[in-house]
Amino acid sequence: MSSQRDHALSLLARARDDLYVVRRLADDANAPLRVLGFHAQQAAEKTLKVVLSVAGVPYPRTHNLDMLVALLERHGLDVPPVGADLGLLTPFAVILRYEEFPPDDAPASEPRQLLILAEQMLTWAERSLEAFS
């Protein structure tokens, strides 16, 4: 169990790093939304994997947040309160990094919305981690 917890703590530290980037850039009008979205998605992905890891649930190598939420549900674990909104972050992980889209095809998000989602996910993961202590 200790190695699962250590892994979860490592993921949580990395999620905090991603949240740091989102916090620093959310109010910068020149910050690319794709960069903010990528780090918000990464923070959310890592927090989901924090809870799966500490619970001892193996998870696939995926950036699909809806799939990770479904995995939590399947194992009877608490789902983040913003779980239904997480799908909006998934495109930032893969599609917008590796494929070219015209600006109109980017996911509809505002920097503050991305920040709020990432912050809520981190809070949820920290509380969930405490519950496993």
**What average pLDDT does the chain have?**
89
pLDDT digits (tens, 9 = 90+) for 59-81: 999 999 999 999 999 999 999 99
Please write the tens of the pLDDT for every residue from 24-51.
999 999 999 888 999 999 999 999 999 9
> What's the confidence (pLDDT) of residue 133?
78
The pTM of the whole model exceeds 0.85? yes
Q: Go through 104-118 and write b for each residue having 16 or more CB atoms within 10 A of its CB, e for each that does not.
A: eeebebebebbbbbb
User: How many distinct helices (H) and strands (E) make up the chain?
Assistant: 6, 0
Contact 45, 83 (CB under 8 A): no
Tokens, residue 54: 């500490």
Show the tokens assigned to 102. 């015209």
For the domain 2-131, what is the CATH code? 1.20.120.330
pLDDT at 83: 87
* Positive or negative torsion for Cα 54, 56, 62, 68: negative
Which DSSP state fits 61?
S
pLDDT at 18: 98
